[in-house]
Amino acid sequence: MNITFLDLSRVNAPHSAALDEVARRVIASGRYIGGPEVAEFERQLSLYQQGGEVVGVSNGLDALRLILEGFKVMGRLKPGDEILVPANTYVASILAISQAGLVPVLVEPSERTLNLDTSLLEKAVTRHTRALMTVHLYGTPCWDEALMETATKHGLLVIEDNAQAMGSQASIKGYNNLPKCGSLGHAAAFSFYPTKNLGALGDAGAVLTHDQELASVIRALANYGSDRRYHNLYVGFNCRMDPLQAAFLAVKLPSLDTENDHRREIAAIYDTHIHHPLVTLHPVEIGISNYHQYVITTPHRDTLREHLAAQGVATDIHYPTPPHLQPCYKTTLGGERLPITEKLARQVLSLPIAPYLSRAEALYVAEAINNF
Ligand SMILES: *Cc1c(COP(=O)(O)O)cnc(C)c1O
């Protein structure tokens, strides 16, 4: 067998006729910036999330940045404020914080959940802490009692980096229904980067918030800071959502839950069939994951990866170098002692998982690991 890590043409193949059709519609419409396609996708995303104001933007990093800039405009954040953020996140979470002139305070993950270790949050709070950016890494909800308690106790703004978690659901004690990730905090950033569970055919992102003022500030900030034509309220950016991508996303959104269900079936196969003394699985403990990635850990990661490649199984690493060890953060964050983050960077391995992957292929991957 030959199993690629992720083949985007196969992800999009079931949608190809509908994608062709809407591309033609957008081309014929003459509306290439903003307009009805973007408004319609914003409406559909809000419905999917069961409410909230959605602002379509250029990508996930810009969505995060606009949330932080929006809170600055509203006087709820100011340069130098500290934001708690998991140390093992994708670098974009940290870039958004530093680009907004805020200070990322890196908190170690749990070796079990691979998500932020929420029991460390309380100790990380200082008199400068104003916000907490939770990242639902690999699609695993990062939301629990300890997180909510710290946020409430210190009046922190809670921002969700929901780039990897569309369709994941958090579990909250005392509530029967499981609220969707991306609708838990004060504001959430979505990414529709092509490899994400809801992927565009280019760059796209969105902000969701229940705060009407924040939504309108962000809408203006993303459009040169302009609240109406030729009137610039803020020193804004150009971070608008491309209507062609909005139209593509509106085609794909109705299939997201089915595609996520399929990913969960593949994950369940991995959960039950992978048995190896040197390989650790990290089953999701609270809530429901969309399995953006299925991640295992092993101290023999690089040799396991080679073994799997020899068996025709492609894998990936999310992420080989943590943000604080990237050259751009050498002088600011490079001195941090983050042993768990660094250990995970050496041990994590992402297995193939996709809406098109067959059960037989998943069983083959599990068997190839068991033969290591
Ligand atoms: C993909 C991703 C982003 C950035 O999204 P883009 O659309 O690529 O800018 C931010 N945070 C996390 C956790 C991501 O996985």
Q: pLDDT tens digit string along 33-87? A: 999 999 999 999 999 999 999 999 999 999 999 999 999 999 999 999 999 999 9
Tell how far CA 339 is from the center of its chain. Answer: 23
Percent of the chain beyond pLDDT 90?
Answer: 98
- Cβ–ligand 1 distance for 92 under 6 Å, the answer yes
Take atom 10 of ligand 1 and give the residue whose Cα is closest.
Answer: 92
- Cβ–ligand 1 distance for 164 under 6 Å, the answer yes
- Cβ–ligand 1 distance for 61 under 6 Å, the answer yes
Output b/e per residue, 336-356; b: 16+ Cβ within 10 A.
bebebbbebbebbbbbbbbbe
pLDDT higher than 90, residue 176: no
Tell me what pLDDT residue 173 has: 83
How many angstroms is it from 16 CA to the middle of ligand 1?
Answer: 25
pLDDT tens, position by position, 234-284: 999 999 999 999 999 999 999 999 999 999 999 999 999 999 999 999 999
Q: Tell whether pTM > 0.85.
A: yes
Q: What is the mean pLDDT of the chain?
A: 97
Residues 6+ apart with CB under 8 A from 109: 86, 87, 88, 115, 116, 117, 137, 340, 341, 344
State which of 136, 193, 197 you would mutate to test the pocket of ligand 1, scoring each by most atoms of that ligand within 8 A of its C-beta. 193
- Cβ–ligand 1 distance for 58 under 6 Å, the answer no
pLDDT tens, position by position, 296-305: 999 999 999 9
pLDDT tens, position by position, 321-342: 999 999 999 999 999 999 999 9
Predicted confidence band of residue 92 (pLDDT cuts 50, 70, 90): very high
